[in-house]
Amino acid sequence: MQSHLRILSVAACMCLIGTAAHAQLNIVKAGAILYETHSRTTGIQGIGIPAGADAKTGNATTLLLTYERVLDDHLAVELVLGIPPTIKAKATGSVAFLGDNILSAKNVAPTVLVNYHFGQPGDKFRPYLGAGVNYTRFTGIKSKLAPSVEMSDSVGWAVQAGLDYAIDKQWGVFASIAKVKVKSDLVAVASTVLTTTIDFRPVTYSLGLSYRF
């Protein structure tokens, strides 16, 4: 985990790197984000667990907060944070009778992206594309089926496409869509040991306000 944090820390430091030829610009964005999971698992394995046992994670919404450092007319580095959403899972397959909310966890997922903004400074509309790295850690893990549950951290790529609209020189609105690679190994200990790997495959949709200074 420490190596993963070092990778993200180095990437985050890029937010503080400027270029001598251009004046620096900071952009703060806040809004709502829909975290839509399209999860798949390797199935739930364990002694006494029936074949076909599985689970599926649901969607979540939360507050998004980002800081973007503009490096020149087109390039910028963005740090994406926010209030961690709570991801919940329901039982499926041969254990569907166990119902909803068999597992819940908060998704702490700082992401660093390098964005390329099309158009020119001063344009009302500026679409952008970004790519970078995501670090996800699961906290507050709870399950009604097991007193002890652990989920491994995840480091993966992230890509996004978005659109900025300038209301005036300082205020604006934005919308974006992003895809992130998140995969975690789960181990739950109850009367038996349950294991699975969850491939979350999240897609996020964001909308909010931006402020330039």
167-188, pLDDT tens digit by residue?
Answer: 999 999 999 999 999 999 999 9
Q: Which domains does the chain have, with CATH numbers?
A: 2-212 (2.40.160.20)
pLDDT score recorded for residue 9:
53
In this prediction, residue 20 has a pLDDT band, given cuts at 50, 70 and 90, of: very low
Render 160-189 in DSSP notation, one character per residue. Answer: EEEEEEESSSSEEEEEEEEEE--EEEEEEE
Distances (CA, A) of 113 to 16, 124, 135: 13, 22, 12
**Mean pLDDT within 119-140:** 96
pTM: 0.85
Residue 147 predicted with pLDDT over 50 = yes
Q: What percent of the chain has pLDDT over 70?
A: 89
CA distance 140 to 88: 12
* Tokens found for residue 146: 């097991």
